Structure 1
Amino acid sequence: MGSKERFHWQSHNVKQSGVDDMVLLPQITEDAIVSNLRKRFMDDYIFTYIGSVLISVNPFKQMPYFTDREIDLYQGAAQYENPPHIYALTDNMYRNMLIDCENQCVIISGESGAGKTVAAKYIMGYIS
């Protein structure tokens, strides 16, 4: 399966779309982070890592990548095997819970209307 088929909702032009993980930015400054998030947002990349932290930007529109296809893609995959996604974070958390036999926690923060409730629904939908 080619990457175009696997990641039907992801652009392949990294130079224009920014980086998946902002620890890879040449300089980690406020301007570089904002610029990277803006580039990704303009190309409908709403998820970006900064190390193990997932940043999600509310697109204020329906996005095509919350289907069973994405669940299958992220289930059991290593965190960096696929593009950043809330399902990657959720799967990693779930596997850590099973392996470590310890409770896990996801902190969802943001301003009113940022999509916190929607993110929580996707997390709960993935594990249920």
Structure 2
Amino acid sequence: MADKGSKGHYRYHWQSHNVKHSGVDDMVLLSKISEDSIVENLKKRYMDDYIFTYIGSVLISVNPFKQMPYFGEKEVEMYQGAAQYENPPHIYALADNMYRNMIIDRENQCVIISKRSSV
């Protein structure tokens, strides 16, 4: 389900996502959390070009090995000032949340970017 956001564009609601086809946006919602279920969820999402997935406050990104239209002005507007779960998982949501925590709450922030080679 999408509703019109304050900036005039449609916002995504994470609970409306079709789990059967593209997995879950946040893997804490998996009915069984195991290595197999995590890999299966990431695979489903990857096959539908969803390269970002949350596991709680952690963002997982799978390299699509192709150009993706995820980094334009539309996405900047969509994620700026939005709560983390108002839109699909994205690096901009993480960055905006961290920026707000740093400025408003005066909390130190840390980002860890790790690369895992294919098996």
TM-score between the two structures when normalised by the length of structure 2: 0.83
Secondary structure of 2:109's counterpart equals coil
TM-score between the two structures when normalised by the length of structure 1: 0.77
Structure 1 residues 66, 97: CA separation in 2 closer, same or farther (over 3 Å shift)?
A: same
The residue correspondences of 1:26-105 to structure 2 (distance < 5 A) are 26-105=31-110
Gaps of 5+ in 1: 114-128
The residue correspondences of 1:107-126 to structure 2 (distance < 5 A) are 107-111=112-116
Gaps of 5+ in 2: 4-8, 12-16
1:23-54 C-alpha deviation (Å, 9 max, x unpaired):
00000011100000000000000000000000
Q: Percent same amino acid among aligned pairs?
A: 77
Aligned pairs, how many? 108
How many Å apart are 1:112 and its aligned residue? Answer: 6.0
Higher percent of residues as strand: 2
Structure of greater relative contact order (alpha carbons < 8 Å, 6+ residues apart): 2
Aligned-residue Cα RMSD (Å) equals 2.1
Deviation above 3 Å: which 4+ runs of structure 1?
Answer: none
